Structure 1
Amino acid sequence: MIRMHCLAPLALIVVSPAWAQSLPPAPPASQDAQPSPEEVARDAKLGAAIQAVEAGKAAEATAILEPLLAEYEKLYAGEKRKIYCAHNPAQALFYIAGASAAKQDAIAIDPGWCTALWGRGFALIDLGQIDAAVPFLERAVALSPSHAHYLSELGYAYQAQKKWQLSHDLYSRAAAAAEGEQGDQRKRSLRRAWFGMGYDLIELGRLDEAEKLLNRCLELFPDDQKIKNELKYIRDQRAKKS
């Protein structure tokens, strides 16, 4: 039986699109232009939606995000190049370089669209609608495939569906992405990814691998009771088999 754990605290920050002026062009703004009134309005809606998500007001967030996502779909409907959401210039360059190596035309846009997709998925998870949340999180990951937070969120959704191997694979990607982060954010992202992987490995019966990952989590956060509980669960399972 799955030992459900709580959603991780929100760690996603809505990033200002100002840095995006240095990226390859994305409609509708030019590289030199200030944000248009439409962009400012979308950012305001997105900020209100994320505040609602953080406050646990899933229905309120959904009411904002549904039309906002329709706006993003319409905005980029005519774009023929591969679209990536980038949360900083380094991530943008990484995506564009990868696309170039694969001989693909691509653009990197500011993270608003992905943030909205993530927010919609998170709100649905908060409402207990896991199956409905998954397509939104999958789309966020498709648009921002190296963003640790989105990867872990999708890993959690698959975990709730008891798709242990799929969940493990997403958390593994999240851990790899987290290695590129800095400071406390890196520690939090690695803890979430490794914990998720460990949880899945327990369910897959791979207790030794799970224990190693959970001990790595404990090195980062020695007082984390959830990690200690999972390690105790492993010891209990071994005792039952002895």
Structure 2
Amino acid sequence: MAQTADHAIGIDIGGTGMKAGIVDLAAGELISDRVRIPTPEGATPPDVLSTAKDLVGLLGDAAEGLPIGVCFPAIVKNGVTLSAANISDEWIGLEADKLFSATLEHEIHFVNDADAAGLAELEFGVAKGQPGLSIVTTLGTGIGSAFLFDGKLVPNTELGHLIWRGTDIEKWASASARERDDISWSEWAARLQEFYAHVEFLFSPDLIIVGGGVSKNPDKFLPLITSRAPIVTAQHRNNAGIIGAASLALG
């Protein structure tokens, strides 16, 4: 694979899996196989950093010298991780961008994971050219969110941590909650209905975009949800984090 200035690596770190790929930034699509390694048990900084290095190694010679974007399940400000969702609390307060840069021996671009998914949809997907407020939600181990307003990302929103029935709503309405509670798709859709109705009441979005791992099965739950705003599947599905992280190299 020939290297060009339009290629970058995206690394998507999640609570259950870490994924990476090489992205063509002109087309906004993966041009390599997507490689995946399960997130290490406990997701401590040394283990996650080591696994990130292994991921880049799996991409082979084609990854040599390419810019790297990393997305991460935490509030990220100035490269510092200020929270820890489904990962070790040891990440809180760390200069994570510097740790990844040192481990990968490369300058990196660092962002919240749901914000990366939002950037993918903003640059290359269903939010491109969309006026007003688009809200991207990623349904997986937790619930991530990205706010896109008139073509700009409003970073570090955390809709999964809205308090609902005395706890974070993601513990009740995430994709992992459906599996953990062993409920049907229709029962889960009823929970999502409450989540999206609450989000609409608070923010009145013009478009709702559903991403994350379950976005590959939208027919099983999306038709059961009603909303004032159009609700659509993310164009890049579960690759959005990789593509969005890589797109940071455009900046």
TM-score (norm 2): 0.26
- Counting helix residues as a fraction of each chain, which structure ranks higher? 1
- From the two aligned structures, give the one with the greater strand fraction: 2
* TM-score, normalised relative to structure 1: 0.26
Q: Report which of the two structures shows the higher radius of gyration computed on alpha carbons.
A: 1
